[in-house]
Chain A
Amino acid sequence: MLIDLVILFALTLSSLWTVMTRSLLRSAIGLALTSALLTILMFRLNSTLAAVFELSVCAGLISVLFVSTISLTHPLTREEIIKHMRERRARFWALPFIIIIAGIVLSLLHIKPQLLLPSPEMEKDVRNVMWNLRDIDLLGQIIILLTGAFGVLILFKERIKK
């Protein structure tokens, strides 16, 4: 539990750094670090296959996508950076207060979660669940992947020159 707590604190700090840092590139790296820490937590909670997906897709592919997008956009000028820094400080001062208020409100709600589902013995093998019990999800995944592929094709298509 102590190791989990340390990783959870590191996860929160890295996500805060991701949000607060000025540089977009550092932000993308912070997101990859957050994904990597989440992967460790998933391994510790016995979700190994999902952890592998998280590490390869979220910490790898999505970070590469963000870095590529940042490289395609032009950097800010010095004057813009100074102006931007002042604005950012003013925008984020309320964040710690909102976190504290959210914590107090949730603690006052006295939520009692009912997470029990029937027959966990049927769902021991993730392959069985994915292919037999949740096969409609796979269909959804294929449709979403195709939507993404076609969406990107349409977005990146070059304008025809007359």
Chain B
Amino acid sequence: MNPANMQLLWVFGMFVVVLSVIGIYCVLVTYNLIRALIGLEIIIKAVTLMIVVAGHITGHEALAQSLVITLIVIEAVMITVGVGIVVGITRHTGSLDLRKISNLKG
């Protein structure tokens, strides 16, 4: 790998780590269901960026793009089902607070 690509990888890699930490931290500390989904989204954004950078550096851009498109489809479906569950829980408990979900019935 040439030095320019190595530099690109390290610069983007650092920001990918920061984005991942922000997303994981958000998921861990929040009690709000929608904000947990938003944290998950940020983690997926970091993964997407890393795949694109890896594809650019290795010259496999088309392969990376096909993986990213698959990832985006999965992400969209995951969020759709996630917000559906959030709406269902809100109708049952009247709140978005995770601490108020203590019932597995139903």
B30 to chain A, nearest CB (A): 8
A45 and B90 in contact, given A58-B72, A148-B80 (Cβ under 8 angstroms): no
- Asked if residues A145 and B19 are in contact (CB atoms below 8 Å), the reply is no
- Among B18, B29, B69, point to the contact of A50 (Cβ < 8 A): B69
Establish whether residues A19 and B39, one from each chain, have CB atoms under 8 Å apart when the complex forms: yes
CA distance A18 to B41 in the complex (A): 11
The smallest beta-carbon distance between A72 and chain B, in angstroms, is 6
Q: A38-B45, A47-B55 are in contact. Are A15 and B66 (CB under 8 A)?
A: no
Question: How many residue pairs bridge A and B at CB < 8 Å?
Answer: 208
B 59-106 contacts with A by CB, 8 A: 59-70, 72-81, 83-88, 90, 94, 96
Q: B90 touching A134 by the CB < 8 A rule?
A: no
Q: How many residues of B contact A (CB 8 A)?
A: 67
CA distance A116 to B54 in the complex (A): 9
Residues of the A chain whose Cβ atoms lie less than 8 Å from the Cβ of B61: 45-47, 123, 126
Contact between B81 and A72 (Cβ–Cβ < 8 Å)? no
**How far is B79's CA from A151's CA once the two chains are assembled, in angstroms?**
11
Q: Which residues of A contact B34 (CB under 8 A)?
A: 24, 27, 66, 69-70, 73
Q: Which of A31, A116, A148 contacts B38 (CB 8 A)?
A: A31
A66 to chain B, nearest CB (A): 7
* Chain A residues in 8 Å Cβ range of B37: 66
A65 at interface by CB-CB < 8 Å: yes
Given the complex of chains A and B, what is the CA–CA distance between A17 and B54 in angstroms?
27
> How far does the Cβ of A128 sit from chain B's closest Cβ, in whole Å?
7
> B63 — which chain A residues lie within 8 A by C-beta?
117, 123, 129, 133-134
Footprint of B on A, CB under 8 Å? 1, 4-5, 8, 11-12, 15-16, 18-19, 24, 27-28, 31, 34-35, 38, 41-42, 45-47, 49-50, 53-54, 57-58, 61-62, 65-66, 68-70, 72-74, 91-92, 94-95, 98-99, 102-103, 106, 113, 115-117, 120, 123-126, 128-130, 133-134, 137, 140-141, 144-145, 147-148, 151-152, 155-156
Q: List 30 A-B contacts (CB under 8 A).
A: A12-B18, A15-B45, A19-B25, A27-B38, A45-B56, A47-B65, A50-B68, A53-B68, A54-B68, A57-B76, A62-B41, A66-B79, A69-B86, A73-B34, A91-B29, A98-B25, A102-B17, A102-B21, A103-B14, A113-B9, A115-B1, A117-B60, A125-B62, A126-B65, A130-B66, A141-B70, A144-B74, A147-B77, A148-B77, A152-B80
